[in-house]
Amino acid sequence: MRRKIFERRMVEYLAGEMSPAAEADFKKRLAAAHIEPGLAAEYESLLKNVDGLACPEPGPQMRRKFEILLDQAKREAALAESPRAAVPRRPLALRPAAAVGLVLAGAAIGIFLGPLTTERRALTGLRAEVREMKTSVMLMMLDKPSASERLKAVAISREIQPPGDRIIEALFATLNGDPNVNVRLTAVEALARFADRPRVRAGLVEAMAVQDAAAVELALADLMLAWREKRAVPQIDKLLRKDDLDGGIKRRFEEIRARLL
């Protein structure tokens, strides 16, 4: 498949503009190129989130890049309008998701055009691109005023493999500072996946001291018991000294403490 045709079809596919027959054919070509079935779906899902994001103010560097791209587009347009250009062109205006898809398509071209080693490098690059974009989407959504959007952001974090330091830090910031109890509970569940990381374990022990909701405190205490984390005992002692502690929750804390000793 030629480069320009592939770019156009990738944009059409991500934008949902293909006929059923054309889409089926394109999916077969993706499979023939050894692209995992879920990879294009990840782009599609991610780009839907991108459509709803607010665009930041462009900085000087972005302005310079835009001017370079604009000059290049003008030269290409002038060349295309010459008498030799007999093939009609599609409109340049694309929806935001489709425009991002065109950029991502460029990274995938090696899969179709290059040898096996190029294919593997392209796949690695695509995975890194998806991981980075998901991270950016997650961090932006965590700042949304809607608790449901922040819950979605924590859910996105589960799909980012492997999670970088920014993901871990964002989840801890959510656990220790989000005003919604359900969002904090979801952050506990997301962080619990990293039980093998000493830094995460220590952070969850410390988080017990800053919680103000019994449900979150109990979820953290249950994790400490599952991990046999004895460092949590002093934190549980502090929770047991709270004047407004519910009787049933107090008994559960006492049970966890006794089993940790």
User: What are 98-115's pLDDT values in tens digits?
Assistant: 444 544 555 554 444 444
Q: Place 176 in a pLDDT band, splitting at 50, 70 and 90.
A: very high
Provide the 10 A C-beta neighbour count for residue 46: 21
For the chain, give every domain's residue range.
1-141, 163-261
Identify the pLDDT of residue 131.
78
Rounded mean pLDDT of the chain?
74
Contacts of 30 (CB under 8 A, 6+ apart): 37, 40
Identify the pLDDT of residue 108.
52
CA distances for 132 relative to 35, 38, 124, 129, angstroms: 19, 17, 12, 5
Identify the pLDDT of residue 253.
94
Is the separation of the CB atoms in 258 and 221 below 8 Å?
Answer: no
Task: Pick the range with the lowest mean pLDDT from 60-74, 122-136, 213-227.
Answer: 60-74
Q: Place 32 in a pLDDT band, splitting at 50, 70 and 90.
A: low
Residue with tokens 């929770």: 239
pLDDT surpasses 90 at 25: no
**Residue of 130 and 191 predicted with greater confidence:** 191
Residues 39-56 have a mean pLDDT of 53
Identify the pLDDT of residue 150.
92
Q: Which long-range contacts (CB under 8 A, 24 or more apart) does 100-104 make?
A: 100/47, 100/50, 101/10, 101/11, 101/13, 101/14, 101/15, 101/43, 101/47, 102/7, 102/10, 102/11, 104/10, 104/43, 104/129
Is the separation of the CB atoms in 52 and 58 below 8 Å?
Answer: no
Distance CA 134, CA 41 (A): 13
pTM, rounded to two decimals: 0.57
Is the separation of the CB atoms in 216 and 251 below 8 Å?
Answer: no
